[in-house]
Structure 1
Amino acid sequence: MAVSATLPAEEDPEISAERAYLATARTALQRMHHDVVTTETQLTAAAEDNDNYTERYYQRRARELRALALVDLPDVPLFFGRLDFDADQAEVGTQRLYIGRRHVHDGAGDPLVIDWRAPVSTAFYRATRDDRHGVRLRRRYGFSGAADLTAYEDEPLAGPGADGAAEAASSFLAAEIERPRSGPMRDIVATIQPEQDDLVRAPLEQTVCVQGAPGTGKTAVGLHRVAYLLYTERDRLGRTGVAVVGPNRSFLSYIRRVLPALGEVDVTQTTVEELIGRAGADRPEDPAVARLKGDGRMAAVLRRALWLHVTKPAEGLMYAKGTYRHRVADHEVSEIVAALRGSMRYGPGRTAAAKRLAHAVLVQMERRGESPDDRTHNAVARSQPVRRLLDQVWPKLVPEQVLFRLLSDAAFLAKAAKKDLTPDEQELLLWGKPARSWRSARWAAADSALLDELGDLIERTPSIGHIVLDEAQDLSPMQCRAIGRRGATGSLTVLGDIAQGTSPAATGDWPELLRHLGKPDARLETLARGYRVPAQIIDYAARLLPVIAPGLGAPTSARRSPGALRVTPAAAEDLPDAVVAACRECLEREGSVGVIAADAAVRTVHERLAAEGLAPALLGDSENALEEGRLVCVPATLAKGLEFDTVVLVEPARIVAAEPRGLHRLYVVLTRAVSALHVLHAEPLPDPLRTA
């Protein structure tokens, strides 16, 4: 049976010893940080004689990142577990290891804390009595306040006391999972479960797709996998880069502290729109149009639209040099263009056409007895006659030119669409009142992926070493293609839940989504057992699944929480008072409180709570809203990926009515609570929930 601290922390000699060890480790970490900073100062002075600016910059940047990674965060425990090994485990090198968020060594280089990502640390997450990995005892620590060590729990895996150890240890893990929190998300490195650890430690070359029910920790798995890959493949990823892609800025604000807490401070965190970076979203658009623009068929339409700009020449090429005239006949120009058309990207194809035309001219020069060299060849390729001819048959283009013509010219759209789009779909795509030119056009959000597709057809998109793509179920096929291009030579961690797909063009199927990402052979795993959301809430939300995701199995939860679910009807005139009363009650308990309502109503709720003196923050008004207090008002469309200890959900029917996939949105907001969910409504609940 597991053994926990039984004396008060101040009187327990074991806790005193562990606290002393923690203090020693913190002192060592501070020394390591000081050594890096001191070395940087010395190397910076010595590097002044180095004329290679780029080399100096990257050396300095590497030292700066190393120093940041060694900063001791006072509110983050330096270690969270300990492994005691069998005496005969010589390969371990010691019989006791402390497992923490980063490696710490003493002045002689001996380890005081082992990084959780090191191979030997795997045993902390995977050792069982049947497969001990040489471990005889696993210890977990409890902390309070500013990382103050207050408790421990031992789990014997061998010898007396091993029976029932796992069951006893689970209560300690549950206490850590249920610990109230406020502000941004924190890491789960102390509570990673074996099935999660298997995904975290998947090799870099493997693209992993995780279908995760609410509360299963899929976002945490993705972030911890980034930290693990940077530990094991730092040189490779240092050259090619890592990006974490989330659904919106509020979500990125929520997760931004996780990687720094794990010692990783140089990871790009961005949204899909920012990663693509092609167009604004200032043009309102009908969801049906957005859905069509996100359809994978648009890729073929865009490709044709681009290459339709390459035409047959009306005349040949005439190049003059001195008194000589060198002519390339129109049929020969046609052959050159036809041979290159569609065989490579549009931009390089134009360059190759110029070089082949120049080569045809040089052949004629040689026939006249001249001896042209590479300089002559380059001069002819860049000459005005060649450029003028190419402007006619292979014009320079930017993506906006092509898309503007496609959406404003019915005849051109019909020619590019062929049989891929029906006449009704073509009519849906066409702008009613197009701008005068592509330079003044206003673009919609869905146009961004289309412009990116065209951009890649013109010039190759640079690739990233590894991309974590969260809430991927909301991506359209065209957005998937845009992200897939950026991971073409790397790998991805794809995270999401089909049941939470709320965008008009959501794919709705993982194999199809992975195909559009260019990773059809990705490893697809399901996390169905939740650790964060109580069973009462999961079961309540799961009533929607037969309607929104009929083929998806119902999730389960590892825990129940007394009083986790309350559903309270109220008269319409009494609902605002009921919301205020519910928030006051929630604030009497520890932890964060999220008040979620339909976007159109959330500001009114916020104003009422503020008038009552509850000082709520409003998500969306500020990136730091989650840190401005315990009470946060959340528009339903920004709730995805967030968690609160308690959620007050106001008027579910209005959330459903606000958008075509409103039931999917309701499933999302119903599953944001870690401890308790209080549903308040005046209007009738959606049918699947009425029997609650």
Structure 2
Amino acid sequence: MEYEKILIEEKDYLKGIIDVLKGELKSGEQLLNERTKKVIQARKEMWENVVHIYEDTDRLSDFGSYLEDIDGSNSDYNVIFKKIQKYNRMINKPYFGRFDFKEQGEEEIEKIYIGIANLMDEETYDVLVYDWRAPIASVFYQYELGECAYNSPKGLIEGDMTLKRQYKIKDSELDYFFDSSLKINDEILQEVLSKNSSIKMKQIIETIQKDQDRIIRDIENELLIVQGTAGSGKTSIAMHRIAYLLYQGYHTKLNTQNIIIVSPNTVFSKYISDILPGLGEENVEQIVFEDYAIDMMKENDCYVESRVQQMEFLLNEREKNLIKLRKKAIEFKGSKSFIKILERLIKCYERNIKEFNDIYCDNKMIFTKEYLKSQFLNNKINMPMSKRLKRMERRIFRELHPIRRRRVEKAEKIVAEIPDHIFVVKQYSRLISLKRSKANNDMIRKMMSVSFIDVYKELFLNKRIFKTLAKNIELPDEIEEIIEFSKNQIEKGNFLYEDCAPLIYLKLKVDGNDEFKEIKHVVVDEAQDYSPLQYEVFKTLFGNAGYTVLGDINQSMDKKVEMSLYDEVKNIMNKKNMAQLRMNKSYRSSFEIIALSKKILQKSYGIVSFERYEGKPMIKQCIDFKDMDYDVISELQKLYRQGFTSGAVLCKTKDECKKLYERIKDSVEVEIIAEDEKEYMGGFVIMPVYMSKGLEFDGVVIYDAGDENYNNELHRRLLYVAVTRALHRLAVLFRGELNRFMQ
């Protein structure tokens, strides 16, 4: 009876909120129509009265006045439009939680409703619903019943939480509520986690946990590092953290143009693209390291290997000896040792390799090569090499200009004395003069330029230089083979993916960097896949930005990674305030699937599973590929019959994916994602394991998971990634012996 009574009260409150939202939407739409008419009218008047007076300078002020009116109207329009968008997002589910708060020293108990955005009574100025990012809303995520506190703009506010309640609201109707005195809140969380996966990453504001909320709201640390197990919500938390930072923009001076996400690949970038708009914020820029490198090299007419091509090479069983060498090269070219060598290379190039010639004009020496060299090395303000050379070039041409002018005048005087009827001689004389001038200019411009690619080539094409620069630096035992291998690739015109980081680093140091000067905060996802050198690149690329770095050392692809990576990141970024946190609880997969993932790792790493129990993974031995293909079709059909909307068949390589797709495409509805630029559009797909990181599916089939196909440390990590993509169902198919990591 008590529950029914409260339910009626809560439904009445919800109805009042819905009525307010409907009223705001109605008035907002009317206002929007008025503003639209005003903008159209202002543009019409400007066209009629101003567009034809550009030659009448006395009336130019009229033009500015019209532009101001239009800008003001556009601004008003955008404000109203965003409000309407916000209310439309809220109307189906205006809030999801409530707590009652009694501030210390006050008698009144305030009911605090928490939703996706603020809603205020325009007449009384009472807050009807608080944005989940508001300071007071942190109480809902951080505390249970009893004493609590939050940081407000006025300072710390202390008090008591006397009630904590959660709601299930759908289509503007309250289905039920329950009071929680424990945690947020297994009932709602179980319901959310038991739902089918979607084609885009989902927002999680209803189920943010205490440790996740601490990460989201951290504004004290310039570098925040999060090691999180697969399925712990790292990426989703990062996106909510961006939304929180933008909400705090008035204090933190951040807007969407000041934040960038370093994303692992294009598939993943598209997968997370709906979260920020769903939270009421505009999307921020995303950059894929590989794409940035490839575009940079294209500008210089060079080919560079993609990340997918690198992974395919490392998974090619026919090149075992070369793979071993390649792995050593990858590790070395991303190491702190190689960073030191590159730093020395830049100094060596400036002092010993970069050459200058004497500059003459009319057989008279204008600048000696010694003078040019001294000017080049005089770098008290630490200007990048290219900019110094460009500055010198401008000075040289300024000096040569009056000399050339006198020379041209003299030449024209001589030509003028030639009789007019000898026209060809006159034209030939002018042509010779022009050619000489152009050749001299080209020579100067070439001398006053430097290519970061040429700088990098010096390192491997000249072994003597490499050995000189590497003196007293720890090198791998295979360094001679690495140098020779790199030299052979460069001579063929190929740059490998592991060359991307050093090339970008050199470009930034040689040419300087102004491209991302507006960036104040960087989110680095899949942190374990980046080397120390790549973090040096981020530090140089993004200047003095703050960082949120999220990773899982168990999901590294091309190399084995330890927790020490994060210590290296701290040393490289060198921020005043830093924090490192761990998220060990996995919310994605069922208890049984997580148990198998821990078995693969052979170490628990403190991984804790959210207790959502479903069926055990199916591990099945198949006779041959034909038998395995049949089981793939069967498993996908089973997922479809059970009402699941997403599923993935994960193969080790792109080649395996293509062959499997050709064999089964006529028997089951399935797509293939084997190229980085493709977008996951939902449904059932075949894709390489290494491209599935960060994604999740209702069901997963791991294809050909026998010991012949998965038998080394890289394969162990691939299997861990594959298993942890599954929410509800997992099937492991193999020929011969089951891989050693699942036995």
Asked if TM exceeds 0.5, the reply is yes
TM range (shorter): 0.7 to 0.9
> CA offsets, 1:621-656, max 9 Å, x none?
696753343x23232111101112222222224796
Bigger CA drift: 443-452 or 186-195? Answer: 443-452
Bigger CA drift: 599-608 or 445-454? Answer: 599-608
Secondary structure of the structure 2 residue equivalent to 1:585: helix
2:336 corresponds, among 296, 304, 321, to 296
Q: Counterparts of 1:482 and 1:167 in 2: how far apart (Å)?
A: 42
1:137 is aligned with what amino acid?
L
Aligned to 1:366: none
Aligned to 1:272: 289
Aligned to 1:477: 532
Aligned to 1:616: 670
Cα contact 2:629–2:660 (8 A) shared by 1: yes
Cα contact 2:266–2:678 (8 A) shared by 1: no
Matched, 1:445 2:497: yes
Secondary structure of the structure 2 residue equivalent to 1:593: strand
1:559 is aligned with what amino acid?
E
Cα contact 1:37–1:67 (8 A) shared by 2: no
Secondary structure of the structure 1 residue equivalent to 2:497: coil
Alignment RMSD (CA, Å): 4.4
Task: Report matched runs for 1:168-207 at 5 Å.
Answer: 169-203=185-219, 206-207=222-223
Q: Counterparts of 1:492 and 1:672 in 2: how far apart (Å)?
A: 27
| 1:238, distance to aligned residue in structure 2 (A) | 2.9
Secondary structure of the structure 1 residue equivalent to 2:114: strand
Cα contact 1:475–1:506 (8 A) shared by 2: no
| 1:526, distance to aligned residue in structure 2 (A) | 0.4
Task: Report matched runs for 1:484-503 at 5 Å.
Answer: 484-503=539-558
> CA offsets, 1:474-506, max 9 Å, x none?
112222222222333111111110011112486
Q: Counterparts of 1:428 and 1:55 in 2: how far apart (Å)?
A: 65
> CA offsets, 1:389-418, max 9 Å, x none?
9769x7411322323444444455445545
Q: Counterparts of 1:528 and 1:123 in 2: how far apart (Å)?
A: 23
Task: Report matched runs for 1:147-546 at 5 Å.
Answer: 147=171, 149-155=173-179, 165-166=181-182, 169-203=185-219, 206-233=222-249, 236-238=253-255, 241-276=258-293, 277-279=295-297, 281-282=304-305, 287-288=326-327, 289-311=329-351, 335-340=374-379, 343-350=382-389, 395-418=448-471, 420=473, 422-431=479-488, 434-435=491-492, 441-461=493-513, 462-463=516-517, 464-504=519-559, 509-517=565-573, 519=575, 522-546=578-602
1:669 corresponds, among 722, 732, 736, to 722
Task: Report matched runs for 1:107-122 at 5 Å.
Answer: 107-108=122-123, 110-122=126-138
Cα contact 1:33–1:71 (8 A) shared by 2: no
Higher helix share: 2
Cα contact 2:145–2:163 (8 A) shared by 1: no
Cα contact 1:4–1:153 (8 A) shared by 2: no
| 1:187, distance to aligned residue in structure 2 (A) | 0.5
2:113 is aligned with what amino acid?
Y
- Number of residues of Structure 1 aligned to a counterpart in Structure 2: 641
2:523 is aligned with what amino acid?
V
Q: Counterparts of 1:354 and 1:507 in 2: how far apart (Å)?
A: 48
| Percent identity (aligned) | 21
Aligned to 2:166: 140
| 1:515, distance to aligned residue in structure 2 (A) | 3.2
Change beyond 3 A, Cα 1:334–1:240: same
Q: Counterparts of 1:97 and 1:314 in 2: how far apart (Å)?
A: 71
Q: Flag structure 2 segments of 5+ consecutive residues without an equivalent.
A: 47-62, 150-159, 298-302, 311-322, 401-436
2:164 is aligned with what amino acid?
R
2:542 is aligned with what amino acid?
G
Q: Counterparts of 1:65 and 1:650 in 2: how far apart (Å)?
A: 51
Q: Counterparts of 2:358 and 2:65 in 1: how far apart (Å)?
A: 48
Matched, 1:596 2:613: no
Change beyond 3 A, Cα 1:87–1:450: closer
Aligned to 1:626: 680
1:153 is aligned with what amino acid?
F
Matched, 1:102 2:117: yes
Cα contact 1:182–1:627 (8 A) shared by 2: no
Bigger CA drift: 529-538 or 277-286? Answer: 277-286
Aligned to 1:636: 689
| 1:576, distance to aligned residue in structure 2 (A) | 1.8
Matched, 1:18 2:14: yes
Cα contact 1:645–1:676 (8 A) shared by 2: yes
The TM-score, its normalising length taken from structure 1, stands at 0.79
Q: Counterparts of 1:154 and 1:339 in 2: how far apart (Å)?
A: 72
> CA offsets, 1:146-173, max 9 Å, x none?
x4545232326xxxxxxxx326942232
1:597 is aligned with what amino acid?
C
Q: Flag structure 1 segments of 5+ consecutive residues without an equivalent.
A: 157-164, 362-382, 436-440
Q: Counterparts of 2:694 and 2:483 in 1: how far apart (Å)?
A: 36
Q: Counterparts of 2:140 and 2:503 in 1: how far apart (Å)?
A: 48
Q: Counterparts of 2:439 and 2:577 in 1: how far apart (Å)?
A: 49
Cα contact 1:250–1:619 (8 A) shared by 2: no
Matched, 1:582 2:643: no
Larger Rg: 2
| 1:521, distance to aligned residue in structure 2 (A) | 5.8
Cα contact 2:222–2:576 (8 A) shared by 1: no
Bigger CA drift: 198-207 or 346-355? Answer: 346-355
Q: Counterparts of 2:228 and 2:272 in 1: how far apart (Å)?
A: 17
Q: Counterparts of 1:139 and 1:481 in 2: how far apart (Å)?
A: 47
Secondary structure of the structure 2 residue equivalent to 1:226: helix
Q: Counterparts of 1:652 and 1:387 in 2: how far apart (Å)?
A: 64
Secondary structure of the structure 1 residue equivalent to 2:214: helix
Aligned to 2:320: none
Bigger CA drift: 447-456 or 602-611? Answer: 602-611
Q: Counterparts of 2:256 and 2:538 in 1: how far apart (Å)?
A: 19
| 1:36, distance to aligned residue in structure 2 (A) | 6.1
Cα contact 1:471–1:496 (8 A) shared by 2: yes
Cα contact 2:228–2:552 (8 A) shared by 1: yes
Change beyond 3 A, Cα 1:594–1:317: closer
> CA offsets, 1:567-623, max 9 Å, x none?
23332242222222222222222333222222332234444553224x223234696
Cα contact 1:568–1:681 (8 A) shared by 2: yes
Change beyond 3 A, Cα 1:14–1:93: closer
Secondary structure of the structure 1 residue equivalent to 2:538: helix
Bigger CA drift: 407-416 or 115-124? Answer: 407-416
> CA offsets, 1:1-60, max 9 Å, x none?
xx97899x9xx6744752563354255356547646754774686696438999988996
1:152 is aligned with what amino acid?
Y
Bigger CA drift: 268-277 or 647-656? Answer: 647-656
Cα contact 2:601–2:716 (8 A) shared by 1: no
| 1:316, distance to aligned residue in structure 2 (A) | 9.1
Aligned to 2:52: none
Cα contact 1:473–1:501 (8 A) shared by 2: yes
The TM-score, its normalising length taken from structure 2, stands at 0.74
Secondary structure of the structure 2 residue equivalent to 1:689: coil
Change beyond 3 A, Cα 1:270–1:300: same
Q: Counterparts of 2:643 and 2:132 in 1: how far apart (Å)?
A: 30
Matched, 1:50 2:64: yes
> CA offsets, 1:660-681, max 9 Å, x none?
6121111111111222322222
Cα contact 1:541–1:671 (8 A) shared by 2: yes
| 1:202, distance to aligned residue in structure 2 (A) | 0.6
